[in-house]
Structure 1
Amino acid sequence: MARSKEFDIDDVLLKAMTIFWQQGYEKTSMQDLVAGMGIHKRSMYDTFGDKHTLYIKALERFASIQSSRLEARVEGVDSAAAAIRLLFEATIHRNDAEPKGCMLVNTAVELSGYDPEAAARANEAFEDTEALIERLVRHGQASGEISSRHTARALAASLHNALIGLRVMVKTVKDKDKLEMIMNTTLEMLE
């Protein structure tokens, strides 16, 4: 008779996600994961496979959580420009209980040069965020709230690029006024 799991799979996956988010893939050892997840090494291998498979699952979970948060943040906001501003503000005024920055950005910087699977997962999530921004821009252009001098696609790509840059900056810049100045200047392209 097979033994049942003595831990909640979702809970330990979230713990692994946080460890990878804080430390990155290369710096995280199997011992870090076993200790941080609170499970035996054998259980980790049996449940998640190897370290890379666990990382990809954690990255997918992060992407799913991030996507849900972004969608929820803009849901019901009538103003497209205000909704886009909320996406930027969420990056600046993040939950201090979470690691700084973005696991997707960290993955793109750390692994994309030699790990096509991790790069593909990060790019998929980036494309989803850019598509959300593009929908908001299109809505704002249709209502006349956002300038149409650039295509919605071009604006979305530029805004997303700036958002990724902001996600990097929040890791090192403590001056919220500076981050808000960057955000405000970036959002002027909507006018």
Structure 2
Amino acid sequence: MARTREFDIDQAVDRAMDVFWRRGYAETSLQDLLQELSIGSGSFYAAFGSKEKLYIRSLDRYASLQASDLEKAIDGTTEIRPAVRKVLTSLIETDLADPTRGCLVGNASTQCGDHPAAADRVNAAIRQVESFLAGALEQAQARGEISSDKDPRELARFLTAFIQGIRVIGRARVGREFAEDALSTAMRALD
């Protein structure tokens, strides 16, 4: 008779996500995950299949949370510039407060060369941010906030690249002045 699962899968994925975020994929052992999740290897394999599959689920969860936060900050806003500035400032403040974490998607992008499924998830997460920003910028352009000679998709790609770059820079501990100067320049792209 099969045993009943005695742990919450979603909570386990959240906890695993935190371990991968802190340690990275390669530096996280199966034993680290078993200890953090307080489960045995049989339960782990039955629930997740492998460390790599759990990593993929963790990346998906992180991307979903980040997309939701971005939507909450920008969706339905009447002015795009303050909303974008608020999002970017929040990321900078997060990295200044804890520069060791960075962005799980950004961290994964530098670690997933040997893991095509992880690279696919990173690409999908980046494209999701780009797509959302492009839609918001198109709406802002229709309202007259952004010049008609600007391409919302190009701006979205620039901002998406900026977001990933500022998260990496945050891990390098370059400091507030550097990050704020970069933010000022990024915001001028919307002028």
TM-score, structure 1 normalization:
0.91
List per-residue Cα deviations over 1:56-101 (Å, max 9, x = no partner).
1111111111111111122342101222222212311228589621
Contact 2:99 2:171 in 1 (8 A): no
Question: 1:143, 1:65 → 2: CA distance?
Answer: 28
**Map of 1:67 onto structure 2:** 67
Find out whether 1:124 has 2:133 as its counterpart: no
What letter is aligned with 1:37? Answer: L
**Map of 1:138 onto structure 2:** 138
Question: 1:31, 1:39 → 2: CA distance?
Answer: 10
**Map of 1:180 onto structure 2:** 180
Contact 2:134 2:153 in 1 (8 A): yes
What letter is aligned with 1:168? Answer: V
Indicate the RMSD between aligned Cα atoms, in angstroms: 1.9
Moved more, 126-135 or 141-150: 141-150
Note the C-alpha offset of 1:147: 2.6
What letter is aligned with 1:182? Answer: A
Note the C-alpha offset of 1:102: 0.8
What letter is aligned with 1:48? Answer: F
Unaligned runs of at least 5 residues, structure 2: none
Identity rate, percent:
36
Equivalent position SS for 1:93:
helix
Note the C-alpha offset of 1:33: 0.7
List per-residue Cα deviations over 1:23-51 (Å, max 9, x = no partner).
11111111111111221222111111111
Equivalent position SS for 1:148:
coil
Unaligned runs of at least 5 residues, structure 1: none
Contact 2:20 2:28 in 1 (8 A): yes
Instruction: Indicate how the Cα distance of structure 1 residues 98 and 45 shifts in structure 2: closer, same or farther if over 3 A, else same.
Output: farther
1:161-176 alignment runs, 5 A limit: 161-173=161-173, 175-176=175-176
Instruction: Indicate how the Cα distance of structure 1 residues 98 and 158 shifts in structure 2: closer, same or farther if over 3 A, else same.
Output: closer
Moved more, 172-181 or 115-124: 172-181
Question: 2:34, 2:163 → 1: CA distance?
Answer: 33
Question: 1:128, 1:24 → 2: CA distance?
Answer: 22
TM-score, structure 2 normalization:
0.91
Note the C-alpha offset of 1:127: 0.5
Size of the aligned set, in residue pairs, is 190
Question: 2:121, 2:163 → 1: CA distance?
Answer: 18
Note the C-alpha offset of 1:110: 0.9
Contact 1:101 1:170 in 2 (8 A): yes
